[in-house]
Amino acid sequence: MANIQQVAKHAGVSVATVSRVLNDQNTVSSKTRLKVEEAIKELNYEPSMLGRNLRNSESRIVLILIPTISNPFYLEIIKGIENVAISHNYNILLCETDSDPEKENIYFDLVRKKMADGIISMDPAVNVETLKQLAEKYAIIQCSEYGGGIGIPYVTIDNEEASYRAVKHLLQIGHTKIALMNTDEKFLYARERKMGYERALKEHGIEMNNNYIFYTKDLGFENGQQAMKKILNLKQRPTAVFAVSDLLAIGALKEINASGLSVPGDMAVVGFDKIDFSNMTNPTLTTIAQPMYKMGTTAAKMLIEKIRGNKVDSVVLDFELVIRESTAG
């Protein structure tokens, strides 16, 4: 495997000149450029990024931290990040933390050890203290899930308002007994979405009923099934459920179907995220569409700015309520 020295010798020039050709510098005469390019061809030379990266003190790799790759919610965001990254000559390392601080630390080490130039964190369970500390020295952006007020730039939607709109939709089509399927309130978005839920109810003169609020440990399909089981067992059974993730909602859907009830006839269901699958279920799912691709591209652009050493501001993007069969009574 040839290196730049050999190319230089073969072309009869210095390594500096070869490097200039490689980096498209305009200070090379077309004659020598040709010589060099020929040598490169003949030797089948490929510049080593290891050498270049060391010299430039960069890795051109950015980390994406997600709790699990199994939640399709992240897929579109990742695509957005990826496209921007690639067009800026960055590559992405997808890091599944399983919300495990130990795994998390492996990845944090990657930036400490210069193997990564920055991080986009989408893990709501991330250790905020560590992250904050890391952010003092390294480029970090939070995407979709963020610890508030810790001074790290983020991109998100207005969760309170989105939740409000979802619940309001249920109220408008006549529901008054509406259950909330939420996650642990240690997560900011969980608290925000509950607030939106409460505001919508209040606005319609309905008092929030704690018996109608269910907390799940995770955002997965099974969690939705289990929670729905409990809801169906209530003596005062609600007529609608608002779940804070599509996977939860799909679990609910499955459970309702299994119990012989029908959606939306007996029970309306609203999800959150608009993952691909939300359109594949039977019935299709009413949900809040997060602008996932846009979130990804935005976060990536912010990160690259940050890596360049510029200051960046947080961004709040628009969402949309998508009404489909699961509430189209």
Question: Whole-number minimum distance, CB 138 to its own copies, in Å?
Answer: 11
| Partner from its own copies, DNA, none binding residue 323, C-beta < 5-8 Å depending on class | none
Residue 177: helix, strand or coil by DSSP? coil
Give the integer Cα–Cα distance in Å for 274 and 280: 11
Token couple for 111 = 């930036």
The answer to whether residue 50 forms part of the interface with DNA (CB under 7 A) is: yes
Residue 109 found at the interface with DNA (CB under 7 A): no
Return the residues of window 239-258 that contact DNA according to CB under 7 A: none
- Residue 19 CB, shortest distance to its own copies, in Å, is 15
322 binds its own copies (CB under 8 A): no
Residue 25 touching its own copies (CB under 8 A)? no
Closest C-alpha among 45, 60, 42 to residue 15: 45
- Residue 187: Cβ-neighbour burial (10 angstroms; 0-12, 13-18, 19+): middle
Judged by beta carbon distances under 5 to 8 A according to partner kind, the member of its own copies, DNA, none in contact with residue 221 is its own copies
Cα–Cα dist 310/53, whole Å: 21
Choose the one of DNA, its own copies, none that binds residue 70, judging by a C-beta under 5 to 8 angstroms depending on kind: its own copies
Q: Report if residue 328 touches its own copies, rule: CB under 8 A.
A: no
DSSP characters for 37-55?
A: HHHHHHHT----HHHHHHH
Instruction: Give the closest residue to 154 by CA, choosing from 109, 187, 119.
Output: 119
> And the tokens for 264?
């939306």
With respect to its own copies, which residue has the nearer C-beta, 187 or 277? 277
The structure tokens listed for 44 are: 């089948």
Out of its own copies, DNA, none, which partner does residue 72 contact, by CB within 5 to 8 A per kind? its own copies
Q: Report if residue 216 touches DNA, rule: CB under 7 A.
A: no
Segment interacting with DNA, rule: CB under 7 A, options 30-38, 126-134, 159-167, 259-267: 30-38
**CA pair distance 42, 39, nearest whole angstrom:** 5
3-class secondary-structure state, position 213: strand
Q: Which of 1, 151, 233, 309 binds DNA (CB under 7 A)?
A: 1
Question: Which of DNA, its own copies, none does residue 276 bind (CB under 5 to 8 Å by kind)?
Answer: its own copies
Asked if 51 is part of the footprint of its own copies (rule: CB under 8 A), the reply reads: yes
Nearest to 63 by CA among 26, 87, 39, 97: 97
Q: Is 285 exposed, middle or buried (0-12, 13-18, 19+ CB in 10 A)?
A: buried
Using CB under 8 A, which of 6, 43, 79, 213 touches its own copies? Answer: 79
Residue 165, interface with DNA (CB under 7 A)?
no
Binding site for DNA (CB under 7 A): 1, 3-5, 12-20, 22-23, 26-29, 31-33, 45-48, 50-52, 54-57
